[in-house]
Structure 1
Amino acid sequence: MRHAEEVTFGGSGLDRAAEIRGDVGALAAAMQDPAARTVLIWRGKPLVSGEDALQALRLPLDHPILAEAGGPPILLGREDGAAVFAHDISGWVPEDFDAEAQASFLDPTEYSHGTCPEGRFAELRRIMTQLTPRDAELVATAKAVFGWHASHKFCSRCGVASEMHQAGWQRICPACGAQHFPRTDPVVIMLITRGNRALLGRSPVWPQGMYSCLAGFVEPGETIEAAVRREVWEEAGIRVGSVRYLASQPWAFPTSLMFGCHGEALNEDITIDPAELEDAMWITREDLAEAAAGQRPDLLPARKGAIAHFLLHNWMADRLD
């Protein structure tokens, strides 16, 4: 697909500096470099500044806010020859912390730390389209890797607490020696069409009126194409014939890699699985255009920045090839 690199969180060309992750001397030198910087994550939210066009703040490694860090940093890569790290300060609790709002689907809460008043921690899904491709890749990577560390603190082989290695890209069990690496879960998300209509569904936990492409995890021993056909049949009772890959998107909510595909439906009658979907329907390009223009209160388009929005927008504009 000609526009594949335009997907949010992809295409920035970040030098990840993987060759120095296991080099203790090189890592020490990188951290001592005055040009080295770090981005901050707090409970999955990146530290950003600005209004309409946001910037992920890059702080020096001696910034006082790093006293809140609960562990060692992750090496994200290099920019202009200097290392860029990430620190997690999730142990910090703001005085005005609102746990209920933060747990909501559209989390509006933002928090500032007293030692860094120029920045604020904001929900990544809400601000992702306001970041540059580079900043989006940096903070999404940091969020995903820190999320993996938080949920994989113990060895899956023997249960002993494991330790961070390779500049945050590995955990090693001190008891049995097992090595563990950040996981990425493959997910298919599919634009299913039949003529001038596309199949959309909605989850019951989404905001009222929101519809999106169907999606599901790829199972062991399954191809991407087979996963597309299985998921659409299971969720909506639609048989799919031809399937082609279009684009991918790393999706750090929490650790998915979305494989965007286009599939051609072989039948039209929808039979939803209520355990998976609240509703599903066929929409035309004209329906989608009206929704994008805000003229269909009953049909909210997929969230901007998500690959579903990218696929639907390009289908509406007849730019899938």
Structure 2
Amino acid sequence: MRHAETVTFGGSGLDRAGELRDDSASIEAARTSADTRAIVFWRGKPLITSGDTAELVRLPMDHAILAEVTPEQIFLGREDGAARFAVDLSAWEPPDLDTEMLGGFLDPSEQSHPALPATMVFAELRRVMTWLSPRDAELAATGKAVFGWHETHKFCSKCGAKSQISQAGWQRRCPDCGASHFPRTDPVVIMLITHGNRVLMGRSPGWPEGMYSLLAGFVEPGETLEAAVRREVLEEAGVQVGAVGYLASQPWPFPASLMFGCSGQALSEEIIIDPVEIEDALWISREEMMLAFSGDHPTMLPARKGAIAHFLLENWLADRLD
């Protein structure tokens, strides 16, 4: 495995067993198997054991709490030969729920179901992603992304009729026109743009005070990754980019992106930001970035731990981008 694949959500070799998704008999048999386990989500938050050594909870399929989940279940694959399903408990309403914290940049709240031990909580995946093992992170990211897609794609985009889940959660079929729809992934380029000893950083409105990250943007239809890198950097910061290379990728289920980490050599230095796109952009030297990573920079915070931007910058500092 390349070092680049060790990024958070980078994959753990999970057997996704795609050949079983359209085999209803095998899926039903898996649901009732004694070694099958459920990964439980509440409004996009996975169920984990609390603490700095967090683990993704795997409940037996006959656990009492599963009587409260929605009928839709996502077959995630096989782990050590045993089936894993993602289930959704979002209809449950915790008492004294603080809705203002939900869906924010960093949701610190945790929800505990009365039928579960107090050590098991629903937690925002972005907050706990670096605590999880690669396998736990892959299972959590996959379940969250597919459930999120179903939540926003309940109707056929061809004729407008209400569609139905099929292929063990990996497809929606329209009963009226017969169209098939599959979970979408939006390609996004995120760029480590350098000029000599410096890297180009930017920030979006609403981010925590002082936080900067690498520039990023969606790839447009008919566009290569290289072209998207050059276009996005020019649009956001007014900097021209020459040679572009691929570094690493990261699934990012917030809600449904695949981040393509790219390197780029800047051909110009002057920054002219587009205030509609970003709030600020600047060049940061290696020495300044080291201070930011150590927490000693007077004004700047580094990119969020677990995000591919943090991974690329960390490896840029260590001269181990491969």
Q: TM-score band (shorter)?
A: over 0.9
Aligned counterpart, 2:190: 189
Aligned counterpart, 1:108: 108
Aligned counterpart, 1:59: 59
List runs of 5+ in structure 1 lacking aligned partners. Answer: none
3-state SS of paired residue (2:155): coil
* Paired residues for 1:294-309 under 5 Å: 294-309=295-310
Aligned counterpart, 2:89: 89
CA positional deviation for 1:2: 3.9
Show CA shifts across 1:252-292 (max 9, x none): 00000000000000010000000011100000111011011
**How many percent of aligned residue pairs carry the same amino acid?**
67
CA positional deviation for 1:143: 0.2
CA positional deviation for 1:80: 1.5
Aligned residue type for 1:196: N
3-state SS of paired residue (1:101): coil
Contact 1:209/1:297 (<8 A) preserved: no
* Paired residues for 1:128-147 under 5 Å: 128-147=129-148
Answer yes or no: is 1:171 the counterpart of 2:172.
Answer: yes
Aligned residue type for 1:20: L
3-state SS of paired residue (2:95): coil
Show CA shifts across 1:202-226 (max 9, x none): 0011000000000000000000000
CA positional deviation for 1:136: 0.1
Answer yes or no: is 1:22 the counterpart of 2:32.
Answer: no
Contact 2:233/2:241 (<8 A) preserved: yes
CA positional deviation for 1:115: 0.9
Contact 2:4/2:321 (<8 A) preserved: no
**Worse-matched range after superposition: 84-93 or 62-71:** 62-71
Aligned residue type for 1:69: V
CA positional deviation for 1:79: 1.0
Answer yes or no: is 1:158 the counterpart of 2:159.
Answer: yes
Aligned residue type for 1:100: E
Aligned residue type for 2:200: L
Cα RMSD for the two superposed structures: 1.0
Aligned counterpart, 1:149: 150
Using the alignment, how far apart are the partners of 2:167 and 2:298 within structure 1?
A: 49
Show CA shifts across 1:14-62 (max 9, x none): 0001111111111111111100001011111100004111100000011
Using the alignment, how far apart are the partners of 1:106 and 1:28 within structure 2?
A: 38
User: What is the TM-score when the length of structure 1 is the normalising length?
Assistant: 0.98
Aligned counterpart, 2:217: 216
Contact 2:112/2:121 (<8 A) preserved: yes
Using the alignment, how far apart are the partners of 2:4 and 2:317 within structure 1?
A: 16
Using the alignment, how far apart are the partners of 1:88 and 1:11 within structure 2?
A: 23
* Paired residues for 1:257-272 under 5 Å: 257-272=258-273
* Paired residues for 1:65-76 under 5 Å: 65-76=65-76
Contact 2:50/2:121 (<8 A) preserved: no
Contact 1:198/1:282 (<8 A) preserved: yes
Using the alignment, how far apart are the partners of 2:92 and 2:212 within structure 1?
A: 36
Aligned counterpart, 1:77: 77
Aligned counterpart, 1:285: 286
Using the alignment, how far apart are the partners of 2:208 and 2:71 within structure 1?
A: 36
CA positional deviation for 1:320: 1.5
Contact 2:101/2:108 (<8 A) preserved: yes
Task: Could you list the structure 1 runs, at least 4 aligned residues long, displaced by more than 3 angstroms after superposition.
Answer: none
How many residue pairs match? The answer is 321
Show CA shifts across 1:212-255 (max 9, x none): 00000000000000000000000000000000000000000000
Show CA shifts across 1:48-95 (max 9, x none): 004111100000011111122123210001012110000011111100
Using the alignment, how far apart are the partners of 1:77 and 1:6 within structure 2?
A: 21
User: What is the TM-score when the length of structure 2 is the normalising length?
Assistant: 0.98
Aligned residue type for 1:288: M
CA positional deviation for 1:298: 1.0
